[in-house]
Amino acid sequence: MESLNYKMFGCFTRKFRISEAEPPADVKEAFTRFAGRGSTHMSAYQFLRFLVEAQEEDGCVASDADRIIHQLIDRRQHVSKYAGHGLTLDHFFHFLFFDDLNGPIRSQVHHDMTAPLQHYFIFTGHNSYLTGNQLSSDCSILPIIKALERGVRVIELDLWPNSAKDDIHVLHGRTLTTPVRLIKCLESIREYAFIKSPYPLIITLEDHLTSDLQAKVAEMVTQTFGERLYYPESGCLEEFPSPEALKHRIVLSTKPPKEYLESTPLKESGNSSLPERNSTDEEALGEESPDLTDEPDPDDRNDTDHDEEDSDGCERKSCQLGAPQYKHLIAIHAGKPKSGLRAALRVGIDKVKRLSLSEKAFEKAAASHGTDVVRFTQKNILRVYPKGTRVTSSNFKPLTAWMHGAQMVAFNMQGYGKSLCLMHGMFRSNGECGYVKKPDFLITKGANNEVFDPKASLLVKKTLKVKVYMGDGWRLDFSPTYFDTYSPPDFYTKVYIVGVPADVAKKKTKVIEDDWAPVWNEEFTFPLTVPELALLRIEVREHDRSEKDDFGGQTCLPVSELRPGIRAVPLYNKKGDKLKSVKLLMRFQFV
């Protein structure tokens, strides 16, 4: 037994006892089932049977079981000596609570990585250089580094001339954000690009440069990245390479500059030091197109994210050559609708491309011709970015974009909240390498050339059963008075399914009062029509009668990656950083 002392009103002390958590009944039953009734130890062979039969670890062999036992005993030596007879119930229980030995999802890359890039969801950042809000925060290499350390595979940089017009700054244009030099961003990318994942790092550029500065960018990237920079010798790609083929390569993506035949005078602008914005920049895509709507959306009128479609809005003095050396380095060409979005979505083109839409333009496209969007993403890349009114760097719900096959759902990685939690959850898939193979139904066509219809009603394909046994670790990660000044916390767990509309659900356990190691033993059932796109979001809260309930940790897990059996589920703070000790013990079953 441990105890905690709470000083009340400075005059007396109240003592709360904290007992070691007891194994749940299901854990005791599993131990008895595999060790044998009346046995106090589980042999290595019996433990292997548990791993294969109960945890469905099909590839597990005797040497794996021996290795796990020795790792476990090494960690528990300070508590109890190992007599060599096998695992006790105490050892077995603690094994279940080690997430590195018994985690809820696989930690290795296991998807097929040889398909073309458009067959993957790709972990994508938006305005990756911003430290805070979209209007006045500092631009820095630090958020770029943090994103790469987390496994982000698409970094966005906005390129603008400096005041002397002899260098390139990265900043959010026409705002009060303070700039950072492009060369510093490129050097940080070179150093950290593959620290988390070996698969290709794509840099999307929003280009507002003159041709001479574009030439300077070409020189910078070739000198900084050297042989790691990938670009097709023949110019525009006819099909995208695979993540496997592009391992440890850096890829540029933007709209190639045009080669103008004659100079065009610089348009008048409210800010003479900045190039004039192109009148057909991205947030207007789908606003003025009769394919989508007759009225512009007020949310997008103030959109300050011009994206890479502005590259031909540069100062056009001496722009005749269009910086050919720069154009040559652009491997993934971005385009924009010239005759309405529906025309741009038509497939059958001989070159592959990338199209970017604001979340509002995408919502309209999905509502009016969703299957055209799905068909487009089977050959090309679609990027969806936050609308311009998200000045606080908030994010949108990503599921609709994924349902339509959008590969690059661009997020503000500093915009902490439920949406970013979902993004982190999706990219815990496939060993957190930043590339998640899309479900087959988003990649293939039917017998009559039909594609997946996100609006179609589907039958339940699989049912997920989730049992929340207990939680522990808060007493190690939080101070004794963090949740309540005078008593232990009152924890409850919320369990959500986020996915296609038919699958969305939420459940909640009862509140366990005054316990640092709450035991709930509650099971929830979730029927799923599209389990391939479902995410399991878990959040622990501490009940407070007088104020808002306190946050006690969260996680989000891809349902398609869940490992059956009794598992240790680590929780994360609001920023998505893993809490050192806090875990839930849960069971996952598919029926």
pLDDT in tens, 440-472: 999 999 999 999 999 999 999 999 999 999 999
- pLDDT, one tens digit per residue, over 205-243 is 999 999 999 999 999 999 999 999 999 988 778 899 999
pLDDT computed for residue 546 by the predictor: 83
Q: Does the 459-591 domain belong in CATH 2.40.110.20? A: no
Alpha carbons within 13 angstroms on the beta-carbon side of residue 111 total: 27
Tell the residue number behind the tokens 């299957």, with chain if given: 371
Helices (H) then strands (E): counts for the chain: 16, 22
Contact between 496 and 419 (Cβ < 8 Å): no
Tokens matching residue 346: 């038509």
- The model's confidence at residue 327, banded by pLDDT at 50, 70 and 90, is very high
Question: So where are the chain's domains?
Answer: 117-256+279-443, 459-591
* 12 Cβ neighbours under 8 A, 6+ residues apart: none
Percent of the chain with pLDDT over 90: 77
Average pLDDT, the chain: 87
Label the pairing between strands 550-558 and 535-542.
Answer: antiparallel
Q: Does the 117-256+279-443 domain belong in CATH 3.40.190.80? A: no
Contact between 283 and 174 (Cβ < 8 Å): no
Q: Is 271 exposed, middle or buried (0-12, 13-18, 19+ CB in 10 A)?
A: exposed
In angstroms, the CA 100 to CA 567 distance is 10
Decide if pLDDT at 259 tops 80.
Answer: no
In angstroms, the CA 363 to CA 172 distance is 24
- Closest-CA residue to 494 (of 514, 515, 466): 466
pLDDT computed for residue 237 by the predictor: 87
- Equal fold, 117-256+279-443 vs 459-591: no
- Which of 173-177, 290-294, 506-510 is the least confident region? 290-294
In angstroms, the CA 323 to CA 86 distance is 70
- pLDDT, one tens digit per residue, over 276-299 is 333 333 333 333 333 333 233 444
pLDDT computed for residue 236 by the predictor: 76
- The model's confidence at residue 581, banded by pLDDT at 50, 70 and 90, is very high
pLDDT computed for residue 321 by the predictor: 55
Decide if pLDDT at 165 tops 50.
Answer: yes
Known catalytic residues are 126, 172
The DSSP output letter for 188 is H
Contact between 493 and 468 (Cβ < 8 Å): yes
For 132-179, give the DSSP string.
Answer: S-TTTPBB-SHHHHHHHHHT--EEEEEEEE-TTSSSEEE--TTS-PBP
The DSSP output letter for 473 is -
Count of Cβ atoms closer than 10 Å to residue 411 Cβ: 29
- Closest-CA residue to 562 (of 583, 530, 542, 534): 534
Tell the residue number behind the tokens 């528990």, with chain if given: 76
The residue that leads in pLDDT, 363 or 322, is 363
- Closest-CA residue to 246 (of 234, 231, 235): 231
Question: Distances in Å between the alpha carbon of 99 and those of 87, 203, 476, 522, 565?
Answer: 18, 34, 16, 21, 13
pLDDT computed for residue 284 by the predictor: 31
Alpha carbons within 13 angstroms on the beta-carbon side of residue 157 total: 26
Tell the residue number behind the tokens 């790691």, with chain if given: 228
Contact between 570 and 583 (Cβ < 8 Å): yes
Helix 182-192 and helix 142-150, axial crossing angle in degrees, nearest 10: 20
3-state DSSP assignment of residue 16 = strand
Decide if pLDDT at 305 tops 60.
Answer: no
Tokens matching residue 581: 């000790």
Contact between 199 and 153 (Cβ < 8 Å): yes
